[in-house]
Each structure stands twice: as structure tokens, then as C-alpha cells.
Amino acid sequence: MRRDRLRRLAVLALALWMVLPILPLAVWSVAHGWRFPDVSPQDWSLRAWSFALSGRSGILQSFALTSFIALATTLLSALIGVPAGRALGLYRFRGKGLVTLFLLAPAVLPGIAVAFGLHGVFLRLGLAGTVTGVILAHLVPVLPYMTLVMAAVFSRFDPDLEAQARTLGATPWQTFRRVTLPAILPGLMTAMLFAFLVSWSQYLITLAIGGGRVQTLPLLLFSFASAGRNDITGAVGLLYILPGLLVLILTARQVTGRGAAMAEGLRP
Amino acid sequence: MTSLSVSGLAKRYAGAGQAALHGLDLTVESGSLTAILGPSGSGKTTVMKLVAGLIAPDAGDIRLGDRSILDLAPERRGIAMVFQNPLLFPHLTVAGNIGFGLRMRGLAAGQIASSVATMLDRVRLTGLGDRRPVQLSGGQQQRAALARALVLRPEVLLLDEPLSSLDPSLGDEMRQLIRDLQRETGITTLVVTHDQTEAVALADTIALLLDGRLAQVGPPETFYQRPATKAVARFFGGVNFIPGIARDGRFDCAFGPLHLPPGIGPGAGLLTIRPEALRFGPGPNQRGARIDAVTFLGTQSRIDLSVADANLQALVAPELARSLTPGSDVTISFPPEALWVLPSGG
């Protein structure tokens, strides 16, 4: 009984921990005037929401652009990260430690250093201020996660399964599609969701490479916040949280419990 | 059906000092069951992977009938391989696994289902088609893996240590199943194993591979009765080797002259006799011997003997061993038909 109550208390605490910071945003987004000492706003209004959701604010366009950039970054990082993770997870080769270090470097380097370093290069390549440039720049912080997660997934994958498929008449593509992909899919999904989130939350790199011409949601959020538009900031903030919330719900089953589908085709 | 032949097949792995395989020549007759036998590290799995096309040889050729398959990708060779582990695809059902190859060929679902159902019956997995691989026992998984290869009606079937992961009673069952299915289908089959009893019980022909070289090829009996070298004899449990010279149907050695069976050429060599072929009691080629030790081994007992300063080992039934006491003198005989002379040195 007591353990049950403790567990319920823990769940409640966890929920509060996650919900409480969001609460002021939600209140702000529907507040009409809210001065300091007051506990609640003077008045309520949906003005901020109708502005945010109308075409003229550019917030929905920014939402779409941010989604597109995050999606493209995710797919590109999967295209690079799956083979790279496979090499790291399955094979031993000379200089593997060094390769791993290089892969991890962007994750520990300060974002501002990466941003300004890249900016110079991208300027010369004509990529500065373009969506393509921003996507490529986002790969820097995203790839380490993708590659390392896939390396962990492949280290539990038995490559003999692929050899077996080939001797049963499967072409290399059929082997990947019918044997490898089903085995790595749960891990790949998790890695892609996190890749999406990492790209989604980039501020500094987008600002530096996009030069203000690529207005993603974090940039917009920051400009509304610094302009003192707390109601619109609240609305945009809530929109901004949306994918993260979705990811949390989608991955909760995979990252917890029995490792859920992670077991498929992978050695324990 | 088709024969499988390899010629001059050689492979050295990158970074390895010694070649895994030195120019192997071997023909697996059409419809036969041949076993490549060798200790671990002898290069036998390398042969399998080369034939299956999973790795490329440094030199040599691989032929099905008279057509080289060296340049074909694994999926186009018409060769199915069953690995040492069942390697069932975990995301598919047992039926999905067995039908995998047919599906890759683009067969219609109905056709696949009926072939799979027939195959399930043949390997005695009737009714288990809807199970997941993890729900099967080790023996059932191995049978499903065999069915998955056989359903393709390959020109050549490769089996890598098919019994080694099973416990002995299941191993016997699997061996019988492989024998029966191979006889029924007549598929040219190449088995790789490190276990000589497995090879002997399973194969029509054994190819013994020692250190990446072919030591001897022939029907199982020849490895016991007519081993080519001392190394071959030792691999098959030969322990008695007596140096001497063969001439005029006799072998002169430390025991004095022993009569040889006809057909053994003259020259210096090593006389060998299987430990189970030594006879206790008088007979042709009889000698006096002293018993040094008697060791009970379960189904047999090992007798260590000294004969004129040389040591010999005999294997006898435990009932007979009870009458033999260490330190006593006995008469033993070397039946001439059980004697064989190996080249000395080899």
C-alpha cells in the first residue's frame, strides 16, 4: 500500500516538474494584461492565438519551415548515420577511437564556435542565408547523436542474418529492406526523433548561418520575447513545445519498459 | 542435379599471417553428401563462405557442373546455406522464415503457402508455422532453418556444423533428418564439421582438411583402415605408431617381424593398428605384453601396454578389461588385416 502511494506521489511530482514550466506560457498566451504583483491576469483574451494562427504573423509559415528543416536534417543524418553507425558498431578497424572522437567533437564543442567557424566557409560557398545552408549546419550537432545511437544498435545486430538472407536469394536491397531494416527500425526511430528535436531546437547555428533570413521558430520566439510581447511569446512557445511532447509520447514506450520492440533481431 | 567442384581455391584474410586455405581441390559428386572435416581453424568455414559467395577467393575457381559461379553474387548462385546458428529472422513467423527465399523470388502468396506447409510437415514442424522463432526450441529452430533452405530446391546445399549446437539426442534426430531429406531430394550437399563421428555418420565422402590443406578424401571407412598420413590417423583416434621397414609382406620393427596384409609396398614406414583392433589372446602375429594401466572410459576401457619397450594402447569392452590387471603379463595379437603402414615422417 505504502509503495503504491509513493509511486503515485512520484508520478505526480514528475508530471508537475514537466507541466509547471509550461503553465505560465499557457496563461500568458490567453492573458490580456498581467502586471507583476497579481497572481492572475486582469483579463483574458484569445488575441495572441488568433494573431499567431493567422497568416499575417508568419508564425505558421515559420512552423512549417522549422518542420521542413528538422525533417530534412533528420533524413540526411539517417542517410549518413546508419552506414556510419554500422561501421562503428560492427567492425573493428584502425583509428576507430579517433573516428569516434571526431564524431563526438561537435557534441562537446560550444555551438557558437561551430556557428562562426561554419559561417566563414558557408559564406564562400554561397550557402550562408539559405535553407540548404541551415540544414547542412544543423547536421553538425545532429550527426553525433544519430551515429552513436546507430552504432549502439548495430553492435547488437548479428550481420550473419544478412549473409543468411543473401544465400536464400535476397539481393542486397531486399536484404536491407526485409532483414536489416526491421531489426534496426526501433533504434532508428528513436535516433530520428531525437535528431528531429536537436534540429528543431537550434538557435545559435540557425541565427549565424541563416543570417536572419531563415526565420525558424526559436528565432521568432526570441524576437517576440525580447520585444516584450509576452502573450504572443506564450502562444509561440506552446506551439514550439508541441513536437517535443509528441516525441516524448511516441518514444516513451520504446525507451522504457522491456525495451519494447528494441529486442527484434538484436542480441540482448 | 549438379556436382560442385573447387580447384586451386586459396584465401588469406587481411592481416592474417597464414593463409586460411592453400589451393584446395575438391569435387562433391552430384547428389552426394560430402563432409569437410577439420579441427577449428582448419579453414573449413572459409570453404563454405567462398562457395556461398560471401567472401571472394584470392585464387582458384568454383564450378557447378561445368559452369563457373565465381562471378555470381550469392543470391544468384543457386546455393543455399544453413549456418551453425539457426539465424531465423526474428521479426517473421516460422512460416514467414521458411517462405522467405520464395518471397524474394517473387512467387505468389498461395504458391508460397503451399510449399511452406509441405516443408513444415517434412521437418516435423506441422502446426508451428504461426509461431515466432523465439517460441521454438533449439532443435525446432534448426529444423526450421533447414526447411528454409530446402524449400528453395537449391542445386547445392551447404550445412555449417548443423548438429554442433544441439544436445546429443537432438543431434541424432537431426542427423537422421538430414540424411533422409538428402536421400529423398538428391540435393548435392556439402557439410562442414569438426566432429569426426558426425562426419562418419552423415557423409558418403569425407574430405579431411588440416591446416588449410586437404589431407585425405574418401569414404568414411578409409580414414580408419587406410589413413594417408600419421596426422590423419591421429585425427581419427589412431594412437599406435611403430617405426620400421616393410619388405616381402612383413614389417620389421621393435616387435620383430609382423605379417602384413597383401598390397602394402616395401619401404620404411610407420606401422599402425587401431586401438580397438588389438586382440587379447593368441593368434597370428602374437606377442607377449605387460599391462601398465587400465582406464574405464564408460562404454569402453583403455588398456596401456608395453611390448618390447614400445607403448601401445588398446580399447576393449569393459567386461574384458575386468580380467586384465595392471602389472600382469598377457598375450596379444596383431591381426594382419588390421595392420596398415603409413609413410614415415608424415
Which residues in A lie closer than 8 A to residue B105 (C-beta atoms)?
169
Pairing of the two strands B156-160 and B188-193: parallel
B123-163 residue pLDDT tens: 999 999 999 999 999 889 999 999 999 999 999 999 998 88
The Cα of B193 is separated from the nearest Cα of chain A by a number of Å equal to 18
Which chain A residue's Cα is nearest to B81?
A: A167
Q: Report CB contact under 8 Å: A160, B100.
A: no
Q: A264 with B91: CB under 8 angstroms?
A: yes
Q: Does A182 touch chain B (CB under 8 A)?
A: yes
First to last CA, chain B: 38
Query: What is the number of other CB atoms lying within 10 angstroms of the CB of residue A230?
Result: 19
B12–chain A nearest CA distance, Å: 18
> Where are the domains positioned within chain A?
46-263
Cβ-in-10-Å burial (0-12, 13-18, 19+) of A209 comes to buried
Q: What is the pLDDT of residue B43?
A: 83
The x, y and z cell numbers of residue B185, run together, are: 531430394
Report how far residue B263's alpha carbon sits from residue B248's, in angstroms, rounded to the nearest whole number. Answer: 11
Is A264's CB within 8 Å of B75's CB? no
Inform me whether the C-beta atom of residue A163 falls under 8 Å from chain B C-beta atoms.
Answer: yes
- DSSP letter at A212 equals T
pLDDT along chain B (346 residues), means of 10: 89 80 90 92 87 93 93 94 93 96 94 95 92 92 94 94 81 88 93 90 92 89 92 91 89 87 87 92 89 91 89 90 88 91 76
Rounded to whole angstroms, the Cα distance separating B82 from B187 reads 14
In angstroms, the separation between the Cα of residue B76 and the nearest Cα of chain A is 7
Torsion of CA A127, A129, A131, A135, to 10 degrees: 60
**A43 and B CB contact within 8 Å:** no
Averages of pLDDT over each 10 residues, chain A, 268 residues: 82 85 83 75 80 84 94 96 92 84 80 84 90 94 92 94 95 95 92 92 90 89 86 87 81 55 45
With CB atoms and an 8 Å threshold, state whether A265 touches B85: no
CA distance A162 to chain B (A): 9
pLDDT, residue B332, reads 92
CATH for B238-343 (2.40.50.100, 3.40.50.300, 3.40.190.10, 1.10.3720.10): 2.40.50.100
Cell of B129: 508455422
* Strands annotated E in chain B: 4-11, 21-28, 33-37, 59-64, 67-68, 79-82, 156-160, 188-193, 205-210, 213-218, 241-247, 250-253, 256-259, 267-272, 279-280, 286-296, 301-307, 310-316, 329-333, 340-343
Residue of B nearest to A263 (CA): B90
Residue in B closest to A159 by C-alpha: B87
CB contact under 8 A, A168 and B152: yes
Q: What is the pLDDT of residue A257?
A: 46
CATH 3.30.1540.20 fits A46-263, yes or no: no
- Rounded to the nearest angstrom, the minimum Cα separation between A71 and chain B is 28
Flag whether the ipTM exceeds 0.95: no
- What pTM does this model have? 0.80
CB contact under 8 A, A168 and B149: yes
Contact B75 A169 (CB under 8 A): yes
Q: What is the CATH number of domain B4-228?
A: 3.40.50.300
Question: Do B85 and A160 make contact, defined as CB atoms within 8 angstroms?
Answer: yes
Chain A's closest residue to B99, CA to CA, is: A168
The C-alpha of B142 sits at a distance from chain A's nearest C-alpha, in angstroms, of 13
The four Cα atoms A140, A144, A150, A154 give a dihedral, to 10 degrees, of: 130
CATH 2.40.50.100, chain B: domain bounds:
238-343
Residue B228 backbone phi and psi in degrees, to 5: -80, -35
Which residue in A161, A168, A265 is closest to B148 by CB distance?
A: A168
Classify residue A96 as left (phi > 0), alpha (psi -120 to 50) or beta: alpha
One-letter amino acid for residue B339 of the chain: L
From B153, B189, B222, select the one nearest B30 (Cα to Cα). Answer: B189
What whole-number distance in Å separates Cα of residue B198 and Cα of residue B206?
Answer: 11
Residue contact B83–A163, C-beta within 8 A: yes
pLDDT at res. A18: 80
B80 touches chain A (CB under 8 A): yes
Q: Does A163 sit within 8 Å of B80, measured CB to CB?
A: no
The whole-angstrom distance between B179's CA and the closest CA on chain A is: 21
Mutation target to probe the A interface, by most A beta carbons within 10 A, among B83, B91, B102, B157 is B91
* A–B CB contacts, 8 A cutoff, strictly below: 72
